[in-house]
Amino acid sequence: MSDLTRREFARNSLQSLTALALFEGLFANRLFGADVAPIVDSWFKELDTITREIHDHKVKDVEFQKALEGLYSRVDLPALLKTLDFERMAAGVNFPAKGAKSLAPDFTRVGGLSSNLVFGRQIFAMTKGRSVIPHGHDNMSTGFLILKGDFQGRHYDRIEDNQDHYLIRPTIDRKFAPGDASSISDHKDNVHWFTAASDVGFIFNIHVNDTDPTNPKSPGRVYVDPMGEKVAGGLIKAPKITYGKANQLYG
Ligand SMILES: [Fe+2]
């Protein structure tokens, strides 16, 4: 069989347990052998391309969000986890009592990536009931991809910036499972808050700075209390709070 035919056959065989059993050896090789590398390398290459487009302001931040969520939705999650040596990393996590731990993903097995990436990356790790605390972003685009565990994920549009509070509008409030994704920009779903619903949970996260040329603010996080007063039009008056307060309330 040619390589292409073999690949197609391996993919089709996933639909049939009988065929899967017959080709178990082939399947195991594809999933855990050297063949994983080209799949994940091309995925990261596309991540590199789309993050450069927003970094260079060739696309608007909301278009970048679509591209990133599209890319995330096409991830080969087992291959990504293998490439990031996820199980080894996950086994060594010292989970915090409150909030989430930020870990540096191991990119040493990713081939063909530039040495001057324009995106930052991390993996959040937390135990059940703990959260990536509610926060928004100024002049940044970010995206979450669930690697392991179940989450309650919430997003809000930031409608208005006042002295001591933001006006926010709930946009997403749903369960997230491995492979599910969401994203953020100045213009869409700017605030997020993710709480682990399973014993442990892991989220892959990338971010790009200076994604909105019209925003004079430096890129960064802002912390909010999304459980503020409900006001007209389905909006919430969300007090601006410190990291410490957000961690105390929602970590
Ligand atoms: Fe964030």
Distance 132 CA to ligand 1 centre (A): 8
Residue 28 confidence (pLDDT): 46
Distance 211 CA to ligand 1 centre (A): 14
Structure letter (DSSP) for residue 67: H
∠ Cα 175 178 183 (to 5°): 70
- Residue in 116, 174, 180 with CA at minimum distance from that of residue 148: 180
Residue 26 confidence (pLDDT): 47
Tokens read off for 207? 């971010």
pTM of the entire predicted model = 0.86
| CATH classification (class only), 33-250 | mainly beta
What is the distance between the alpha carbons of residues 184 and 45, in angstroms, rounded to a whole number? 21
What is the distance between the alpha carbons of residues 144 and 206, in angstroms, rounded to a whole number? 7
Distance 165 CA to ligand 1 centre (A): 18
- Residue in 151, 219, 233 with CA at minimum distance from that of residue 190: 219
Distance 120 CA to ligand 1 centre (A): 12
Question: How many whole angstroms from its chain centre is CA 218?
Answer: 22
Contacts of 105 (CB under 8 A, 6+ apart): 84, 89, 121, 122, 123, 204
Distance 141 CA to ligand 1 centre (A): 9
Residue 5 confidence (pLDDT): 62
Residue 168 confidence (pLDDT): 98
Q: What are the 10-residue block averages of pLDDT along the chain, 251 residues in total?
A: 58 55 46 67 96 98 98 96 95 96 94 92 98 98 98 98 98 98 98 98 98 96 97 97 97 96
Residue 15 confidence (pLDDT): 59
Distance 251 CA to ligand 1 centre (A): 14
pLDDT by residue (tens digit) across 24-80?
444 444 444 466 777 899 999 999 999 999 999 999 999 999 999 999 999 999 999
